[in-house]
Protein backbone atom coordinates (compact mmCIF):
# COMPACT_ATOMS: atom_id res chain seq x y z
CA UNK A 1 0.00 0.00 0.00
CA UNK A 2 2.91 2.31 0.64
CA UNK A 3 4.10 4.29 -2.27
CA UNK A 4 7.52 5.86 -2.57
CA UNK A 5 9.17 8.42 -4.72
CA UNK A 6 11.83 7.14 -7.17
CA UNK A 7 15.04 6.67 -5.22
CA UNK A 8 17.66 7.38 -7.92
CA UNK A 9 18.57 10.79 -6.65
CA UNK A 10 20.85 13.37 -8.03
CA UNK A 11 23.35 13.67 -5.21
CA UNK A 12 24.31 17.08 -4.02
CA UNK A 13 26.61 18.28 -1.33
CA UNK A 14 25.05 18.09 2.10
CA UNK A 15 23.61 21.41 3.10
CA UNK A 16 22.94 22.36 -0.51
CA UNK A 17 26.12 24.36 -1.07
CA UNK A 18 27.08 24.93 -4.66
CA UNK A 19 29.57 22.46 -6.15
CA UNK A 20 32.23 25.17 -6.14
CA UNK A 21 32.57 24.69 -2.38
CA UNK A 22 33.05 20.95 -2.78
CA UNK A 23 36.37 19.43 -1.78
CA UNK A 24 35.54 16.30 -3.74
CA UNK A 25 33.54 16.48 -6.94
CA UNK A 26 33.13 13.30 -8.95
CA UNK A 27 30.88 13.49 -12.01
CA UNK A 28 29.94 10.50 -14.14
CA UNK A 29 33.04 8.62 -13.06
CA UNK A 30 33.49 5.22 -14.60
CA UNK A 31 36.12 2.64 -13.73
CA UNK A 32 35.81 -0.93 -14.90
CA UNK A 33 38.04 -3.79 -13.84
CA UNK A 34 38.80 -6.63 -16.16
CA UNK A 35 36.34 -8.92 -14.45
CA UNK A 36 34.18 -6.61 -12.36
CA UNK A 37 32.07 -3.50 -12.41
CA UNK A 38 34.07 -0.99 -10.38
CA UNK A 39 32.28 2.31 -10.82
CA UNK A 40 29.50 3.20 -13.23
CA UNK A 41 28.55 6.82 -13.71
CA UNK A 42 29.36 7.75 -10.11
CA UNK A 43 28.46 11.25 -8.92
CA UNK A 44 29.71 12.40 -5.56
CA UNK A 45 30.09 15.82 -4.06
CA UNK A 46 31.63 16.39 -0.64
CA UNK A 47 31.45 19.73 1.10
CA UNK A 48 34.47 21.15 2.89
CA UNK A 49 34.56 20.30 6.59
CA UNK A 50 31.79 17.72 6.34
CA UNK A 51 31.68 14.03 7.17
CA UNK A 52 30.48 11.85 4.32
CA UNK A 53 29.79 8.19 4.95
CA UNK A 54 29.50 5.78 2.05
CA UNK A 55 27.43 2.69 2.73
CA UNK A 56 26.72 -0.24 0.50
CA UNK A 57 27.26 -3.95 0.10
CA UNK A 58 30.60 -5.53 -0.80
CA UNK A 59 31.42 -4.70 -4.40
CA UNK A 60 29.36 -1.51 -4.37
CA UNK A 61 32.43 0.50 -5.39
CA UNK A 62 33.22 2.26 -2.11
CA UNK A 63 36.92 1.36 -2.10
CA UNK A 64 37.26 2.20 -5.78
CA UNK A 65 35.65 5.58 -5.15
CA UNK A 66 38.20 6.33 -2.41
CA UNK A 67 41.00 5.30 -4.76
CA UNK A 68 39.67 7.62 -7.44
CA UNK A 69 39.62 10.49 -4.94
CA UNK A 70 43.35 10.17 -4.17
CA UNK A 71 44.22 9.54 -7.79
CA UNK A 72 45.51 6.06 -7.05
CA UNK A 73 43.15 5.14 -9.85
CA UNK A 74 42.30 7.51 -12.68
CA UNK A 75 38.72 7.54 -14.00
CA UNK A 76 38.31 5.84 -17.36
CA UNK A 77 35.60 8.37 -18.14
CA UNK A 78 33.91 11.20 -16.30
CA UNK A 79 35.69 13.75 -14.21
CA UNK A 80 37.24 13.77 -10.75
CA UNK A 81 38.20 17.01 -9.03
CA UNK A 82 39.63 17.13 -5.54
CA UNK A 83 40.50 20.54 -4.05
CA UNK A 84 39.73 21.73 -7.57
CA UNK A 85 42.63 19.63 -8.91
CA UNK A 86 42.85 16.54 -11.08
CA UNK A 87 44.03 13.72 -8.77
CA UNK A 88 44.43 11.09 -11.48
CA UNK A 89 46.51 13.36 -13.69
CA UNK A 90 49.20 15.95 -13.31
CA UNK A 91 47.97 17.17 -9.90
CA UNK A 92 48.14 13.76 -8.25
CA UNK A 93 51.06 14.56 -5.97
CA UNK A 94 49.49 17.80 -4.75
CA UNK A 95 46.20 16.06 -3.98
CA UNK A 96 47.79 13.10 -2.22
CA UNK A 97 49.91 15.36 -0.01
CA UNK A 98 46.68 16.74 1.39
CA UNK A 99 45.00 13.37 1.87
CA UNK A 100 45.31 10.94 4.76
CA UNK A 101 44.16 7.42 3.97
CA UNK A 102 43.37 4.46 6.16
CA UNK A 103 42.84 1.48 3.89
CA UNK A 104 40.59 -1.47 4.64
CA UNK A 105 43.69 -3.43 5.60
CA UNK A 106 46.09 -1.37 7.71
CA UNK A 107 48.86 -1.63 5.05
CA UNK A 108 51.70 -1.54 7.57
CA UNK A 109 55.21 -2.91 7.34
CA UNK A 110 55.05 -5.82 9.79
CA UNK A 111 58.78 -6.39 10.08
CA UNK A 112 59.36 -2.81 11.14
CA UNK A 113 58.46 -1.06 14.37
CA UNK A 114 55.56 1.33 14.73
CA UNK A 115 58.07 4.17 14.86
CA UNK A 116 59.69 3.06 11.58
CA UNK A 117 56.28 2.96 9.92
CA UNK A 118 55.44 6.48 11.06
CA UNK A 119 58.86 7.82 10.09
CA UNK A 120 58.52 6.37 6.63
CA UNK A 121 55.20 8.13 6.19
CA UNK A 122 56.72 11.35 7.52
CA UNK A 123 59.48 11.14 4.93
CA UNK A 124 57.12 10.40 2.05
CA UNK A 125 54.83 13.25 3.05
CA UNK A 126 57.74 15.67 3.26
CA UNK A 127 57.80 16.11 7.05
CA UNK A 128 61.42 15.05 7.31
CA UNK A 129 62.85 12.33 9.48
CA UNK A 130 62.29 14.18 12.71
CA UNK A 131 58.53 14.57 12.54
CA UNK A 132 56.80 14.27 15.87
CA UNK A 133 55.73 10.66 15.57
CA UNK A 134 55.41 10.39 19.35
CA UNK A 135 52.62 12.92 19.42
CA UNK A 136 50.72 11.21 16.60
CA UNK A 137 51.09 7.87 18.35
CA UNK A 138 50.06 9.30 21.72
CA UNK A 139 46.87 10.62 20.17
CA UNK A 140 45.82 7.02 19.60
CA UNK A 141 47.30 5.51 22.72
CA UNK A 142 50.07 3.51 21.07
CA UNK A 143 53.07 5.66 21.99
CA UNK A 144 54.29 3.01 24.43
CA UNK A 145 54.30 0.37 21.70
CA UNK A 146 56.14 2.46 19.14
CA UNK A 147 59.38 0.53 19.39
CA UNK A 148 57.77 -2.88 19.05
CA UNK A 149 57.51 -4.65 15.74
CA UNK A 150 54.14 -4.23 14.09
CA UNK A 151 53.91 -7.99 13.57
CA UNK A 152 53.26 -8.26 17.29
CA UNK A 153 50.46 -5.67 17.34
CA UNK A 154 46.80 -6.61 17.81
CA UNK A 155 44.29 -5.72 15.09
CA UNK A 156 43.16 -2.72 17.11
CA UNK A 157 46.71 -1.47 17.59
CA UNK A 158 47.41 -1.83 13.89
CA UNK A 159 44.36 0.25 13.04
CA UNK A 160 45.40 2.87 15.57
CA UNK A 161 48.86 2.98 14.05
CA UNK A 162 47.36 3.30 10.57
CA UNK A 163 45.23 6.17 11.88
CA UNK A 164 48.24 7.85 13.45
CA UNK A 165 50.06 7.52 10.14
CA UNK A 166 47.10 8.95 8.24
CA UNK A 167 46.91 12.10 10.36
CA UNK A 168 50.65 12.60 10.85
CA UNK A 169 50.77 15.28 8.18
CA UNK A 170 47.50 16.98 9.25
CA UNK A 171 45.61 16.18 6.03
CA UNK A 172 42.81 18.37 4.75
CA UNK A 173 40.93 15.31 3.53
CA UNK A 174 40.77 12.11 5.53
CA UNK A 175 39.67 8.97 3.71
CA UNK A 176 38.81 5.92 5.77
CA UNK A 177 37.89 2.59 4.23
CA UNK A 178 35.84 0.60 6.74
CA UNK A 179 38.10 1.70 9.57
CA UNK A 180 36.10 0.06 12.35
CA UNK A 181 35.84 -3.32 10.69
CA UNK A 182 36.99 -6.03 13.09
CA UNK A 183 37.79 -3.62 15.90
CA UNK A 184 36.97 -3.91 19.56
CA UNK A 185 34.58 -1.26 20.95
CA UNK A 186 37.41 0.79 22.45
CA UNK A 187 39.28 1.02 19.17
CA UNK A 188 36.06 1.73 17.24
CA UNK A 189 35.37 4.53 19.65
CA UNK A 190 38.85 5.94 19.05
CA UNK A 191 38.27 5.88 15.30
CA UNK A 192 34.94 7.63 15.49
CA UNK A 193 36.39 10.10 17.95
CA UNK A 194 39.10 10.91 15.46
CA UNK A 195 36.57 11.42 12.69
CA UNK A 196 34.61 13.92 14.78
CA UNK A 197 37.80 15.59 15.96
CA UNK A 198 39.18 15.99 12.46
CA UNK A 199 35.90 17.39 11.17
CA UNK A 200 35.75 19.81 14.11
CA UNK A 201 39.25 21.00 13.18
CA UNK A 202 38.03 21.76 9.67
CA UNK A 203 39.14 18.66 7.82
CA UNK A 204 36.83 16.90 5.41
CA UNK A 205 36.18 13.24 6.08
CA UNK A 206 34.99 10.56 3.69
CA UNK A 207 34.60 7.08 5.08
CA UNK A 208 32.99 3.84 4.07
CA UNK A 209 31.34 1.50 6.53
CA UNK A 210 29.01 -1.43 6.88
CA UNK A 211 27.86 -0.22 10.29
CA UNK A 212 24.89 1.96 9.59
CA UNK A 213 24.47 2.91 13.20
CA UNK A 214 27.87 4.58 13.00
CA UNK A 215 26.91 6.47 9.89
CA UNK A 216 23.67 7.67 11.38
CA UNK A 217 25.23 9.40 14.33
CA UNK A 218 28.23 10.70 12.44
CA UNK A 219 27.45 11.67 8.90
CA UNK A 220 26.59 15.05 7.50
CA UNK A 221 26.03 13.22 4.27
CA UNK A 222 25.20 9.57 3.68
CA UNK A 223 25.93 8.10 0.27
CA UNK A 224 24.29 4.79 -0.49
CA UNK A 225 26.10 2.90 -3.21
CA UNK A 226 25.23 -0.16 -5.19
CA UNK A 227 26.77 -1.70 -8.30
CA UNK A 228 29.30 1.08 -8.63
CA UNK A 229 26.94 4.00 -8.51
CA UNK A 230 25.21 6.29 -6.04
CA UNK A 231 21.68 5.21 -5.23
CA UNK A 232 20.91 7.97 -2.75
CA UNK A 233 22.86 10.77 -1.17
CA UNK A 234 22.06 13.43 1.38
CA UNK A 235 21.85 14.03 5.10
CA UNK A 236 20.17 11.27 7.11
CA UNK A 237 17.15 13.50 7.73
CA UNK A 238 16.93 14.41 4.04
CA UNK A 239 17.01 10.80 3.00
CA UNK A 240 14.32 9.86 5.49
CA UNK A 241 12.15 12.71 4.31
CA UNK A 242 12.67 11.76 0.69
CA UNK A 243 11.95 8.09 1.18
CA UNK A 244 9.28 8.39 3.82
CA UNK A 245 7.84 11.87 3.32
CA UNK A 246 4.87 11.20 5.60
CA UNK A 247 4.86 10.54 9.35
CA UNK A 248 4.64 7.00 10.65
CA UNK A 249 2.92 6.14 13.94
CA UNK A 250 3.29 2.81 15.63
CA UNK A 251 0.08 1.47 17.21
CA UNK A 252 0.05 -1.35 19.73
CA UNK A 253 -3.05 -3.25 20.81
CA UNK A 254 -3.99 -6.22 23.01
CA UNK A 255 -5.58 -7.81 19.96
CA UNK A 256 -3.29 -6.73 17.14
CA UNK A 257 -5.35 -8.07 14.19
CA UNK A 258 -8.09 -5.62 15.12
CA UNK A 259 -5.70 -2.80 14.20
CA UNK A 260 -6.27 -3.79 10.57
CA UNK A 261 -9.32 -1.53 10.71
CA UNK A 262 -6.88 1.37 10.47
CA UNK A 263 -6.01 0.47 6.87
CA UNK A 264 -9.33 1.79 5.57
CA UNK A 265 -9.55 4.91 7.70
CA UNK A 266 -9.29 8.42 6.35
CA UNK A 267 -5.78 9.90 6.35
CA UNK A 268 -4.04 6.51 6.45
CA UNK A 269 -1.82 6.15 3.37
CA UNK A 270 0.23 3.14 4.45
CA UNK A 271 -0.36 0.26 6.81
CA UNK A 272 1.94 -2.56 7.86
CA UNK A 273 1.18 -4.89 10.77
CA UNK A 274 4.09 -6.49 12.54
CA UNK A 275 3.71 -8.71 15.59
CA UNK A 276 1.81 -7.01 18.37
CA UNK A 277 1.42 -3.72 16.56
CA UNK A 278 1.24 -1.91 13.27
CA UNK A 279 3.14 0.89 11.55
CA UNK A 280 0.71 3.37 10.10
CA UNK A 281 1.76 5.98 7.56
CA UNK A 282 -0.40 9.10 7.76
CA UNK A 283 -0.93 12.08 5.54
CA UNK A 284 -0.81 14.27 8.62
CA UNK A 285 0.18 13.70 12.22
CA UNK A 286 -2.93 15.62 13.30
CA UNK A 287 -4.97 12.59 12.31
CA UNK A 288 -3.78 10.63 15.35
CA UNK A 289 -6.40 11.74 17.94
CA UNK A 290 -9.20 10.94 15.48
CA UNK A 291 -7.78 7.49 14.76
CA UNK A 292 -7.42 6.73 18.46
CA UNK A 293 -11.03 7.77 19.04
CA UNK A 294 -12.23 5.63 16.14
CA UNK A 295 -10.34 2.58 17.40
CA UNK A 296 -11.58 3.09 20.94
CA UNK A 297 -15.14 3.42 19.58
CA UNK A 298 -14.68 0.09 17.80
CA UNK A 299 -13.62 -1.54 21.09
CA UNK A 300 -9.91 -1.90 20.28
CA UNK A 301 -7.83 -1.78 23.49
CA UNK A 302 -4.71 0.19 22.57
CA UNK A 303 -1.49 -0.42 24.46
CA UNK A 304 0.78 2.12 22.72
CA UNK A 305 0.68 4.96 20.22
CA UNK A 306 4.14 6.35 19.43
CA UNK A 307 5.66 8.25 16.55
CA UNK A 308 8.05 5.90 14.78
CA UNK A 309 11.53 7.24 13.95
CA UNK A 310 12.97 5.35 11.00
CA UNK A 311 16.59 4.30 11.21
CA UNK A 312 19.17 4.50 8.49
CA UNK A 313 19.38 0.74 8.61
CA UNK A 314 15.68 0.48 7.75
CA UNK A 315 16.13 2.88 4.90
CA UNK A 316 19.16 0.99 3.63
CA UNK A 317 17.39 -2.35 3.76
CA UNK A 318 14.30 -0.92 2.09
CA UNK A 319 16.37 0.57 -0.71
CA UNK A 320 18.28 -2.70 -1.10
CA UNK A 321 15.04 -4.67 -1.30
CA UNK A 322 13.70 -2.64 -4.20
Looking at residues 82 to 111 of the shown chain, list those that interact with another protein (rule: CB under 8 A): 90-94, 96-97, 99, 101, 103, 105-111
Least CB distance to another protein at residue 101 (A): 4
Least CB distance to another protein at residue 94 (A): 6
3-state secondary structure of 40: strand
Question: Cα–Cα distance between 24 and 2 in angstroms, integer?
Answer: 36
Among 11, 49, 61, 71, binds another protein (CB under 8 A): 71
Among 47, 67, 81, 160, binds another protein (CB under 8 A): 67
Closest CA to 158 of 113, 106, 121: 106
Sign of CA dihedral 273, 213, 226, 51: positive
Question: Cα–Cα distance between 43 and 50 in angstroms, integer?
Answer: 17
Question: Cα–Cα distance between 289 and 292 in angstroms, integer?
Answer: 5
Q: Is 291 an interacting residue with respect to another protein (CB under 8 A)? A: no
Binding string, 226-265, against another protein, x = CB under 8 A?
A: ----------------------------------------
Phi, psi at residue 298, to the nearest 5°? -85, 5
3-state secondary structure of 140: coil
**Residue closer to another protein, measured from CB, 99 or 233:** 99
Provide CB contacts within 8 A for 130, sequence distance 6+.
Answer: none
Q: Is 120 an interacting residue with respect to another protein (CB under 8 A)? A: yes
Least CB distance to another protein at residue 158 (A): 11
Residue numbers at the binding site for another protein (CB under 8 A):
33-34, 67, 70-73, 90-94, 96-97, 99, 101, 103, 105-112, 116, 120-121, 123-126, 149, 165, 175
Amino acid sequence: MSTHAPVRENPTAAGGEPPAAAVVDLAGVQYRFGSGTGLVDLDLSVRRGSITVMVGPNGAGKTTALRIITGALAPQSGSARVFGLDPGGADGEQVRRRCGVVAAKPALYDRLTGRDNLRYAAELFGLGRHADVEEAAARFGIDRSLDLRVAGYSTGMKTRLALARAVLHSPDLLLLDEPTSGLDPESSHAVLGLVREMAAEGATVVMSTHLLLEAEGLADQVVMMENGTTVMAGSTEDLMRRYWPRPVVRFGAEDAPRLDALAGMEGVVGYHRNGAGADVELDDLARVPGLIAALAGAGVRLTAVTPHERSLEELYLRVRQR
